[in-house]
Structure 1
Amino acid sequence: MIHIQNVSHTFTIGKKGSEKKIPVLKNISFEVAKGEIISIVGKSGSGKSTLLNAVAGFLKPEEGSIIIQGKETTTLTESEYAIFRSENIGFIFQNFQLMPGLTAFENIELPLKIQGIDKHRRFEIVNKIIRKVGLETVFDHYPNELSGGQQQRVCIARALITNPPIILADEPTGNLDSETEQEILQLIALLNESMDITFIIITHDEEVANIAHRKFLMHDGVLKEVVQHAV
């Protein structure tokens, strides 16, 4: 489903004439199968979020190939990738990124409105997702009336609403307490199993990383799979 081959990227810092190039992704290659959960663990500045942005199409790597659903995405224009992204990728953010002036229902509904889905069909789809993520009693609440866990469930529902085959999660439990973190991790595992959704999870939390089928370590721009040995 996702094939990353020899991806490298550098950032340039400093004033013109005294620029310095900082390698952030170094010849990264890996594959993700359909329905697989992978986690990428690393310290801040290790390059893991840069890699996620490359997969999401928000950053075009200087070298290498990224093939998603059989399409070479590094050759797409911004407008082409925007369309591809809306059809294939959902996002779960650490800080939720909900619209404060919209209810939970309206936040979840928003991607469908952007796609031009008619009101009656939107109502059916949103209500189905709301039941799946357990938001039946708070669907008409605004973000500031929701707990952190409820806000993250809204974020997850919004990511699911267009039925994408892939979800990219950036520190999905970073702003949650330990009990709520467990609830969200259980929900992600359930959605993966019941809907066969592929997840790439970026985290610094080992407990979050351990829900994955495979775990990778990012260190100074180099990605290595963590091999679990049987005891």
Structure 2
Amino acid sequence: MIKLQNINHTFKIGKKGSEKKVPVLKDISFSVEQGEIISIVGKSGSGKSTLLNAIAGFLKLEQGSIMIHGKETTNLTEAEHAKFRSKNIGFIFQNFQLMPGLTAFENIELSLKIQGMGKNARFQVVQNILRKVGLEKVSDHYPNELSGGQQQRVCIARALVTNPPIILADEPTGSLDSETEQEILQLIMLLNESMDITFIIITHDEEVANIAHRKFRMHDGVLKEAVPSAV
């Protein structure tokens, strides 16, 4: 489903004309099969968020190839990337990034409005997603009226509503307490199993990483698959 080959990228730091190039992604190659949960563990600054942005198409790579569903995405224009993401990729963010002036229902519905789906069809789709994530009773609440766990469930529902085959999750439990974290992890595993959704999760938390079918470690821009411990 997803194949990265020889990904390299650098950032420029310093004043213009005397910039220094700092490698952030170093010859990364790996693939992800449909229905897998993949975790990428690493400290802040290791390059894991940069890698996620590259997969999402938010970053123009210097070198390498990214194939998603058999389509080469590295050379797409910004508009082509946006269209491709809207059909294929959902996002879960650490800080939720919900619209404060919209209810839970309206936050989830927004992507369908942008796609031009009719009102009645939108209502049915959003109601179905609300049931899946257990938010039917708070659909008319605004983000500031919801707990952190409920806000993250809205974020997950928003990611799911366009029925993407891939969800990219950036520290999905980083803003949650340990009990709520477990609820969100259980929900991710349930959605993966019941809907065959592929998840790529970046985290610094080993407990979060351990729900994955395969775990990778990122250090100074280098990605390596973690070898499971012998039982």
Instruction: Please state how far the C-alpha of 1:181 moved relative to its aligned partner.
Output: 0.1
Q: What fraction of aligned residue pairs are identical, expressed as a percent?
A: 83
CA RMSD, 1 decimal: 0.5
CA distance in structure 2 between the partners assigned to 1:218 and 1:16 by the alignment:
29
Residue identity in the other structure for 1:171 = E
Amino acid at match of 2:131: R
Match of 1:140 in 2: 140
Partner Cα separation in structure 2 for residue 186 and residue 178 of structure 1: 12
Shift, 1:229, TM fit? 3.2
Question: What one-letter code is carried by the residue in structure 2 that aligns with 1:144?
Answer: N
Q: Report the alpha carbon displacement of residue 16 of structure 1 after superposing the two structures with TM.
A: 1.8
For 1:161-197, what per-residue CA distance to the aligned partner results, in whole angstroms no more than 9, with x for missing partners?
Answer: 0000000000000000000000000000000000000
Aligned to 2:149: 149
Cα distance in 1 between the residues matched to 2:188 and 2:181: 11
1:141-160 deviations in Å (ceiling 9; x for gaps) = 00000000000000000000
Unaligned ranges ≥5, structure 2: none
Aligned to 2:52: 52
- Taking the aligned partners of 1:96 and 1:16, their CA distance within structure 2 comes to 35
The corresponding residue for 2:68 is: 68
The residue type paired with residue 121 of structure 1 is A
1:124-150 superposed Cα distances (whole Å, 9 cap, x missing partner): 000000000000110000000000000
What letter is aligned with 1:85? Answer: R
TM-score of the pair, normalised by structure 1: 0.99
Shift of 1:17: 2.3
Q: Secondary structure at the match of 2:189?
A: helix
Q: Deviations over 1:74-101 (max 9, x none)?
A: 0100000100000000000000000000
Aligned residue pairs total: 231
TM-score by length of 2: 0.99
Moved over 3 A (4+): none
Tell me the secondary structure at the aligned position of residue 229 of structure 2: coil
Q: Secondary structure at the match of 2:55?
A: helix
The 10-residue stretch of structure 1 (44-53 or 9-18) with the greater mean CA deviation from structure 2: 9-18
SS in 1 for 2:91: strand
Unaligned runs of 5+ in 1: none
The corresponding residue for 1:38 is 38
